[in-house]
Chain A
Amino acid sequence: MIKVAATTKTIICIGTGGVGKTTMAAAMASGLSEHKKVLVLTIDPSLRLAQALGIKPDGEVYKVKNNLYACTLNHAKAFHEFVLKAAKDSASPEQIEKLLQNKLYKQLSTQLSGSQDFSSLFKLNEFVHSKEYDIVILDTPPAQHTWNFLHAPEKIGQLFNEGVAQWFRDPDQKDTGFLKRILNTGTTQVLKVLENLTGSEFVKELGVFFRAIQKWQTPLEKQVWDCHKLLTAKTTEFILVTALDPSRISEALRLSSEIEKQGYNLKSIIINRVPVWIKEEVTAGPVVRYVKYLKALEAKLVGSKSKFGPHLKVYKSHELSHNQLHVENLSDIYHRIELI
């Protein structure tokens, strides 16, 4: 069983792809829901896990059992919600519609790598602040680097930068003529180059996009700041999930020291999919080389424990048989997580 501080309100599961982060997030939620009301926000769960939880990928919150709730984030929808919320007081329905039809916006809301990270954080922040749940657990997007996720607010924030919007400002809301309003020759040259490279249609789209979003700088900055506060709050706990593989362990070591340096509250490391060690000696037969390999992995695992910071708790979780993934078994996974 993994210990979580009594004051913890948010748990963020981080780690690279393919280590079973989503299942671990769901297992923690299930175990913790025995005493608290818990919501788990998942991203792209496997079909099997989604079936086990009984949820659909539609961004809605589903009651799984008793105090356990789950939601699969829908990024396009979350990003859309964010834009509507930001635009609410400053833009007319026509202006909003114009932005929603902008080609760049359409790509941004669905494809930009940072937008997924940003919309997860935006939803997390919303759920935490709703105070509906005692604990909200977020399974982070499968970003190659956790940094992409942690720095998503700034990345998105840059788009809304007042300086950028200024180049395209057009108080008359006309699509033409913004080039005339450019303030210095350097920018004129840049826009010319851009137009030569990409054609004037693209520059026009760009102008429409930046003019539309510049007004939302203030509400966005507030959101970015709120997200940042949430990530660094004392009531937010990070859990790093990794797997038993020499290169994964090295990766986890690097990641954990970086995360701590940046001031995030990393408490635990879970090494997932650790086999149940074979106690018997096997000296002959077809599996002898594999058993030897497993024993070498075990030695490596025990050896790696001391390399993590002394205040970090290092846990292991055993591989689950493929046909055991039912909602009842999720709590079992949680209870069977043990300190190394």
Chain B
Amino acid sequence: MQKQQIHFVTGKGGVGKSFFAAALAESLAKMSQYSPQENVTSKTISKPILLAEFNDHSFYREYLGDKPAYFDLAQWTGAECLKEYAIHLLKIESLYKLFFGNPITRALIDVSPGLLELAILGRATSYPRKHGPPLKYTHMVFDAFATGHFLTMLRAPGGLAKIIQFGPMGEQTRSIDQWIRNPEFCHIHLVSLPEEMPATETVELFETIKSEFGITPKVYLNKYLFLKKADLANEPESVKIYFTNLLEQQELAEQIFKDHKIKYVPVPLIPEIETEKLLHEASEYLLKEVL
């Protein structure tokens, strides 16, 4: 297998993270020249891409079904990742049950902010660390948490390494921290909208990630309007007002990125109501213009 890459998709709530993550997964599959085979159940073929969501919502199931054509779909919860890790570490299932059934452990999990997030990162980095069940995907795309919670997650290994200095968990934690700081392996995609508020928040997140983790995230302006004010000259007044307002917000957002010398990739507003068509169009765009 070629080297594995992981991709975190994050951004402010409501900017279209889930949509973008699915489009990215599909375009990565197309890039690896994977094409869905008809009449073959997805269990019998191994797809090169995994799309995993951390948030518990059924966006994908509702719009893509349980088995999307281009990638494997999974939901990674912290609790489940922690269980997998604990069984792997404790080896004995009964000891695991004793451990997790115990009120101290449960309270520990609740009281240790970042422990569940650490477990997720542990699984995400299990392939290069050669630790845990192998996940043989060339690319793993994560529909990750929104801004603040995402930072909490990235900080979890470093934070917990300070508290848990010894034992196998201490070692694991430090190794996870190293891998998420490896720019060859770990890629962060920040999705933003062409509006002032999301742009400002994206700049802040971009700078924090860059300075704290040494990774330069890729920024995308979702729902970008490829229009100019001059294009609207002959349109009816209401159309002119509506689109001029959008274009003014877009200019403002672009200026914010320019002021901070942050490059961004515009992802066009695709005027399509059906999610599946929308995803295909977006993935074609990413394949052609971005990857």
Chain A residues near B (Cβ < 8 Å): 16-19, 46-48, 103-104, 107-108, 111-114, 142, 144-145, 155, 158-159, 161, 163-164, 167-168, 186-187, 189-191, 193-202, 205-206, 209-210, 243, 246-248, 250-251, 275-276, 278-280, 282, 285-287, 289-293, 296-297, 300, 319, 321-323
Query: Is there contact, CB below 8 Å, between A285 and B235?
Result: yes
Contacts of B235 in A (CB 8 A): 282, 285, 287
Q: Which of A18, A194, A199, A200 has the most CB of B within 10 A?
A: A18
Query: What are 23 A-to-B residue pairs whose CB atoms are below 8 Å?
Result: A103-B162, A103-B163, A108-B111, A111-B159, A114-B110, A159-B110, A161-B107, A168-B104, A190-B98, A190-B99, A196-B168, A197-B167, A199-B165, A199-B169, A243-B14, A247-B62, A247-B63, A278-B238, A280-B239, A282-B235, A293-B271, A321-B245, A322-B248
CA A111 to CA B89, docked complex, whole Å: 27
Instruction: Convert B107-146 into 0s and 1s, putting 1 for each residue whose CB lies closer than 8 angstroms to a CB of A.
Output: 1101111100000000000000000000000000000011
CA A209 to CA B107, docked complex, whole Å: 11
Query: Is there contact, CB below 8 Å, between A201 and B13?
Result: no
- From B13, B56, B99, B166, give the contact of A193 (CB < 8 A): B99
- From B56, B63, B159, B167, give the contact of A107 (CB < 8 A): B159
The B interface is mostly helix, strand or loop, or mixed, namely helix
Assess A287 versus B239: contact at CB under 8 Å? Given A113-B113, A196-B167. Answer: yes
Contacts of A296 in B (CB 8 A): 273
CA A200 to CA B164, docked complex, whole Å: 9
CA A172 to CA B98, docked complex, whole Å: 29
Interface size on B, residues (CB 8 A): 70
Assess A144 versus B57: contact at CB under 8 Å? Given A47-B200, A194-B105. Answer: yes
Query: Is there contact, CB below 8 Å, between B273 and A198?
Result: no
Contacts of A164 in B (CB 8 A): 103-104, 106-107
Query: Is there contact, CB below 8 Å, between B275 and A163?
Result: no
Instruction: Convert B261-289 into 0s and 1s, putting 1 for each residue whose CB lies closer than 8 angstroms to a CB of A.
Output: 00000000101110100000000000000
Query: Is there contact, CB below 8 Å, between B271 and A290?
Result: yes
- From A18, A187, A210, give the contact of B102 (CB < 8 A): A187
Query: Is there contact, CB below 8 Å, between B13 and A18?
Result: yes
CA A286 to CA B107, docked complex, whole Å: 59
With both beta carbons as reference points, the residue of chain A lying nearest to B114 in the complex is identified as: A111
With both beta carbons as reference points, the residue of chain A lying nearest to B231 in the complex is identified as: A286
CA A140 to CA B89, docked complex, whole Å: 39
CA A289 to CA B123, docked complex, whole Å: 43
- From A48, A104, A282, give the contact of B111 (CB < 8 A): A104
Contacts of A293 in B (CB 8 A): 271-273
Q: Which of A107, A163, A250, A319 has the most CB of B within 10 A?
A: A107
With both beta carbons as reference points, the residue of chain A lying nearest to B248 in the complex is identified as: A322
With both beta carbons as reference points, the residue of chain A lying nearest to B107 in the complex is identified as: A164
Contacts of B105 in A (CB 8 A): 190, 194
Query: Is there contact, CB below 8 Å, between A113 and B166?
Result: no
Contacts of B103 in A (CB 8 A): 161, 163-164, 167
- From B111, B164, B165, B225, give the contact of A159 (CB < 8 A): B111
Query: Is there contact, CB below 8 Å, between B243 and A107?
Result: no
Query: Is there contact, CB below 8 Å, between B195 and A322?
Result: yes
CA A155 to CA B98, docked complex, whole Å: 22
B197-230 with Cβ < 8 A to chain A: 197-198, 200, 225, 227
Nearest-Cβ distance from residue A110 to partner chain B, whole angstroms = 8
Residue B69 is within 8 A (CB to CB) of chain A in the complex: no
Query: Is there contact, CB below 8 Å, between A107 and B112?
Result: yes
Contacts of B164 in A (CB 8 A): 197-199, 202
Residue B189 is within 8 A (CB to CB) of chain A in the complex: no
Contacts of B275 in A (CB 8 A): 246-247
Nearest-Cβ distance from residue A91 to partner chain B, whole angstroms = 19
Nearest-Cβ distance from residue A57 to partner chain B, whole angstroms = 14
Instruction: Convert B231-256 into 0s and 1s, putting 1 for each residue whose CB lies closer than 8 angstroms to a CB of A.
Output: 11011101101110100110010000
Residue B12 is within 8 A (CB to CB) of chain A in the complex: yes
With both beta carbons as reference points, the residue of chain A lying nearest to B159 in the complex is identified as: A107
With both beta carbons as reference points, the residue of chain A lying nearest to B234 in the complex is identified as: A285
Instruction: Convert B146-181 into 0s and 1s, putting 1 for each residue whose CB lies closer than 8 angstroms to a CB of A.
Output: 101100100000010011111111100000000000
